[in-house]
Structure 1
Amino acid sequence: MEITDKTAPLEAARKFIDKNFPDCDGALLAGSAVRGEATATSDLDIVVFDRSATGSYRESLIAFDWPIEVFVHNLTSYQAFFQSDAERARPSMPRMVYEGLVLRDTGIIDAIKQDARALLANGPQEWTAAAIRTKRYFLTDTLDDFIGCSDRAEGIFIAGTLAEGIAEFELRTHGRWIGASKWIVRSLKEYDKEFAARFVDAFDHYYRHGNKEKVIELADTVLQPHGGRLFEGFSMGKDKS
C-alpha cells in the first residue's frame, strides 16, 4: 500500500490512543495493517481496553490521515464478544486481539491475549450429527437450484450462496473456523491451500465461462464423506409421537 502521503499505521495508531484514550489500560493495533495486507482503502482496527468504560462499543472515524475503527471494551465486556464469536464460529474479536500489536499496556494485555489464543486453538464447537444432516440438506437444496438454473442472472447469485455453503460445510466438518466475505478464502487457505485453490478455480471458472461442472464436483466432494446429497427422508419439526 502506498503510504507516502499518510502517517505510518503504527504511528497514527499511537497518536490516536494518546489523544483519545490517554488513560486506557491497554490498546492494540490489529487487522490488515498488522498482517502486512493493507490496501489503499484499508482502515486501522484499534482495540481499546478501559476499565472505566461502562460497556463495549464500536466507532468509526477519521484521524491522523486514516479511517479508524475503534472497538472499546472494559476489562470484562470483551469476554461476551469472544463467546459470541466462538458460537458463530467466526472469531473476529479473538483474532484481532491475538494478532494485535501492543500500543499500550498497564499489565492486562497478556492475560487477554492468552484467552484469545486458547479460544482460537480450541476451534469452534463440533457439529453434531444432526447439524451435519441439516446442513447437508440445505447445501443439497442450493446445489440443486444451481444445477437446474438456466437464468444467468439468477445463477450468479445462487453460486454465491453455494460458495458460502461449501466453504462452511468443509471447514466446520473439519473443526475449523469459518469466515465471511474475504475471510471465506482466508479461512480456506489456513485450512488447506490446495483445497482453497480448487475452490477459487471452480467458481472463477463458472463466473468466467458459465460452466458449472467444477462447482458441482466440488460440492459433491465435500458432501460425499458425510453421505452425499440429501433430500429424501429429511424432515424438520415433525412430531415424532
Structure 2
Amino acid sequence: MASPRSGGSADAERAADAALRFCDAEYPEATTIVLGGSSSTGKRTPTSDVDILLIAPPSTFEGRSGSPTAEARVTHHDGERFDVFAYTVEGYREWAEHDFASLRPVLPVLLTEGVPLRTGDEFADLRRWSADRLTPGPRTTAHQLALRRYAVTDLIDDLTDATDELVSAAIRADLLRGLGELALLSAGAWLGSGKWLARRLRAADPTSADVLAAFARERDDREAASIAAVLLDRLGGRVDEDLVR
C-alpha cells in the first residue's frame, strides 16, 4: 500500500501526520486516506478543521450507529478537530452521486483535489471515476438557469424596496448566494458553499467575483441592488415574464 505525502508546507505536513494518527486510532482498517480542504494546501486558519475522506471495508462500519456503508462525523483527537467522511467503496459512489445531483460535489472534489496519504487498490479507480464526472462540469438547462435568474430578479426588487434592517440583511445574504451560484453555473462550474463559493467563483469567473465583492461592500441598499442588477445583466438578465416552475 502506497503512502504518498504532500510536498507542500510544514503546516500541511503536520495536518497529514495528525490525520494519519487519527485514522490509525479510529479507522485502522482504512485502505485509502485523503487529506482535503485548507489542511491539504497549507492555508489553514486557527479555526480550520482537518478534512479527511477515507475508504474502508464494510467491517469498519459494523456496530456503529447510522449507515453500514458510510459515516460522516465531526470529532476531536489530539487537540485537532476532524471533519470525517468515511465510506465503503459502494458508499462513496452512492454519496458522490448525491453530490453530483446537488451540483455541489464535495466528496468527488475532496478525492480528486486532496492529498492522498494512503492509497488502497480502490483509490485509482474511484479517483478516475470522480474526475471523469467532474471534468465536464454541471449539466444545467436553460430553464434551470432561468429559474435562478427569476429568483435573483425577485431578490433585487425586494432589496430595492427594503426598509427594515434585518429584512435587508436577509435579502442580501440570499442575493449574494443566488448571484454567486448563478455565475458559477453560467460559467460551467460546480457550486460551492460559504468560502468555497467565493473561491470557486474567483477561479471560474473573476469579473463576476469582482462585481459580487463590490455588491458585498456597498452599504446602501439601492446602490447594492443596482450593482446586483449589473451582474444579473451579465448573466442573462432579468426574468419578469410568466414562468412555469
Q: Which bin holds the TM-score, normalised by the shorter protein?
A: 0.7 to 0.9
What does residue 48 of structure 1 align with?
54
The 1-side partners of 2:71 and 2:117 are apart by 19
Which whole-Å CA distance do the structure 2 matches of 1:94 and 1:212 have between them? Answer: 40
Letter in 2 for 1:189: R
TM-score (norm 2): 0.84
Secondary structure in 2 matching 1:8: helix
How many residues end up aligned between the 2 structures?
227
* Match 2:97 to one of 50, 64, 83: 83
SS of residue in 2 equivalent to 1:9: helix
CA distance in 2, matches of 1:192, 1:234: 29
Going from structure 1 to structure 2, the CA distance change for 1:47 and 1:225 (only over 3 Å counts) comes to: closer
Question: Residue 229 of structure 2 aligns to which amino acid in structure 1?
Answer: A
Say yes or no: does 1:164 pair with 2:164: no
TM-superposed CA distance for 1:224, in Å, is 5.2
Distance 2:235 2:46 in 1: 42
User: Any gaps of 5 or more consecutive residues in structure 2?
Assistant: 1-9, 62-67
Q: Is 2:160–2:225's contact at 8 Å kept on the other side of the alignment?
A: no
Out of 115-124 and 161-170, give the one that drifted further.
115-124
Residue 135 of structure 1 aligns with an amino acid whose one-letter code is R
Which residue does 1:221 correspond to in 2? 231
- Whether contact under 8 Å (2:149, 2:232) holds in the other structure is no
Query: TM-score w.r.t. structure 1 length?
Result: 0.85
Quick one: distance in 2 between partners of 1:211 and 1:148?
8
SS at 1:168's partner residue? helix
* Residue among 211, 219, 242 paired with 1:234: 242
SS of the residue corresponding to residue 190 of structure 2 reads coil
Counterpart residue identity of residue 208, structure 2: F
User: Which one-letter code corresponds to 1:136 in the other structure?
Assistant: R
- The question of whether the paired residues in 2 share the 8 Å contact of 1:203 and 1:215 is answered with no
Q: After the TM superposition, which residues 21-36 of structure 1 pair with which residues of structure 2 at under 5 Å, given as runs?
A: 21-36=27-42
State the 1:225 CA deviation: 5.4
Q: What secondary structure is seen at the aligned counterpart in 2 of 1:46?
A: strand
Identical pairs, percent: 25
Q: Does residue 195 in structure 1 map to residue 208 in structure 2?
A: yes
Partner residue, 2:143: 130
Q: CA deviation at 1:46?
A: 1.2
1:180 aligns with 2:175: no
Q: Secondary structure of the equivalent of 1:106?
A: coil
Kindly state the Cα deviation for residue 235 of structure 1 after the two structures are TM-superposed.
3.8
Contact 1:13 1:46 in 2 (8 A): yes
Quickly say closer, same or farther: Cα 1:17–1:118, change in 2 above 3 A: same
**How much has 1:219 moved relative to structure 2?**
2.9
Q: 1:194 to 1:47 in 2, by over 3 A?
A: same
- SS of 1:76's equivalent in the other structure is helix
Q: 2:30–2:57: 8 Å Cα contact kept in structure 1? A: yes
Residue 154 (structure 1) shift: 1.6
The alpha-carbon distance between structure 1 residues 120 and 96, as it changes in their structure 2 partners (threshold 3 A), is same
Counterparts in 2 of 1:19 and 1:204: CA distance versus 1, 3 Å:
same
Unpaired runs of 5+ in structure 1? none
Q: Is the 8 A contact 2:36 2:114 kept in 1?
A: yes
CA distance in 2, matches of 1:49, 1:222: 42
Residues 215, 228 of structure 2: 8 Å contact kept: yes
Decide whether the 8 Å contact of 2:33 with 2:52 is kept in 1: yes
CA contact (8 A) 1:185 1:196 kept: yes
Is this contact kept in 1: 2:55–2:87, CA < 8 A?
yes
Three-state SS of the structure 1 residue aligned to 2:197 is: helix
